[in-house]
């Protein structure tokens, strides 16, 4: 009997050949600081497709120049980015995997010379003070995500993920720690959710494929959102048509985190069970048996691997061997 980790998973009209996802991880390697892909991205992502990953999610890709974490980030704020991103999507498809892209805005964590924006003029510790976003800024942010989704569709991506985690702009709006606004985008949970809700609607106006959202479901801040609040947010996202919640944690404030293998899996488990929405588990998932347990026991629908796939692009083949499942290898590698 095949391992559950290697069973297919279908969302909308997209079928992943297995439950292994390459988590989005910034490479800070764009060519000439123009947000365009470089040879590094072509090799980096295509090699994980050759390695047997079911879905590859490209790193945080900025929907606005001022939304980059650094000047070396990938971008999707211009139609000039489409050709390179299409080349990347085609390479991954040619090597047997599906490909997604994480649309992102860094907010107050942007390390740039330009003016940066956030829900409130509260800096991340020891970083630049941001401008509190006004109504025009918010309109441009929402439009940036819509246009980013349009470009991702034109480039041939299979999945879009909205980055709502790790202390970046959308997460900053969601949390009472960083959002002290008194208008309709702040105050209670309804107001703090408003920006994400508008971004989801904007993306869906041009995108009918699978839509994921990454959240930090543990903020590691006593005055921050609880897991119960993220379960409520997940219910709202499901009602808006989000297909999967990618359950990470942290990044909003500096905090000591008790890190151990699978330390975030409970977040995916609880959100899946209580919000009735598919989830992805991420966070020191290194062992094939551990990944199989997560999928086999219904604690998440997908497992997102980050650093493990940096160390070993061919982890899926090793996992299949350990789980006594046979994977079809590229013909060029069958002699091995």
Catalytic residue among 45, 168, 185, 193: 168
93 among known catalytic residues: no
Q: CB–CB of 230/271 below 8 Å?
A: yes
Phi and psi at residue 213, to the nearest 5°? -135, 130
Catalytic residue among 41, 44, 81, 163: 163
Q: CB–CB of 40/83 below 8 Å?
A: no
Nearest to 195 by CA among 177, 205, 206, 183: 183
| Token representation of residue 270 | 């609880």
163 among known catalytic residues: yes
41 among known catalytic residues: no
Dihedral class, residue 118 (left if φ above 0, else alpha if ψ from -120 to 50, else beta):
beta
Q: CB–CB of 181/137 below 8 Å?
A: no
State the burial class of residue 261 (Cβ atoms within 10 Å of its Cβ: 0-12, 13-18, 19+): exposed
Catalytic residue among 41, 44, 166, 171: 166
CA dist 240 and 250 (Å) reads: 25
Which residues form the catalytic set? 163, 166, 168
């Amino acid at each position: 009997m095949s391992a559950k980790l290697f069973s297919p998973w279908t969302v909308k009209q997209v079928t992943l050949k297995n439950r292994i996802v390459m988590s989005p991880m910034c490479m800070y390697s764009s060519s000439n600081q123009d947000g365009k892909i470089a040879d590094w991205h072509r090799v980096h992502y295509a090699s994980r497709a050759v390695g047997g990953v079911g879905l590859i999610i490209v790193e945080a890709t900025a929907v606005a120049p001022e939304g980059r974490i650094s000047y070396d980030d990938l971008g999707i704020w211009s139609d000039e980015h489409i050709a390179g991103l299409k080349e990347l999507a085609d390479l991954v498809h040619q090597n047997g995997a599906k490909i997604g892209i994480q649309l992102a805005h860094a907010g107050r964590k942007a390390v740039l010379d330009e003016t940066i924006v956030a829900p409130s003029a509260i800096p991340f510790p020891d970083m630049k003070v941001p401008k509190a976003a006004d109504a025009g800024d918010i309109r441009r942010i929402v439009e940036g995500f819509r246009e980013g989704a349009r470009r991702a569709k034109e480039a041939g991506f299979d999945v879009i993920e909205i980055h709502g985690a790790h202390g970046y702009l959308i997460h900053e709006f969601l949390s009472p720690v960083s959002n002290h606004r008194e208008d309709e985008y702040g105050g209670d949970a309804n107001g703090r959710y408003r920006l994400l809700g508008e971004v989801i609607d904007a993306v869906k106006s041009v995108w009918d494929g699978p839509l994921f959202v990454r959240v930090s479901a543990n903020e590691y801040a006593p005055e921050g959102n609880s897991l119960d609040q993220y379960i409520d947010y997940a219910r709202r996202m499901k009602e808006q048509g989000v297909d999967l919640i990618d359950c990470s944690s942290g990044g909003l404030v500096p905090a000591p985190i008790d890190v151990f293998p699978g330390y975030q899996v409970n977040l995916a488990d609880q959100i899946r069970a209580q919000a009735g929405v598919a989830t992805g588990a991420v966070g020191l998932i290194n062992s094939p048996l551990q990944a199989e347990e997560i999928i086999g026991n219904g604690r998440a629908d997908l497992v997102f691997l980050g650093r493990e796939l940096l160390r070993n692009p061919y982890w899926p083949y090793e996992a299949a061997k350990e789980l006594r499942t046979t994977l079809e290898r590229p013909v060029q590698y069958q002699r091995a």
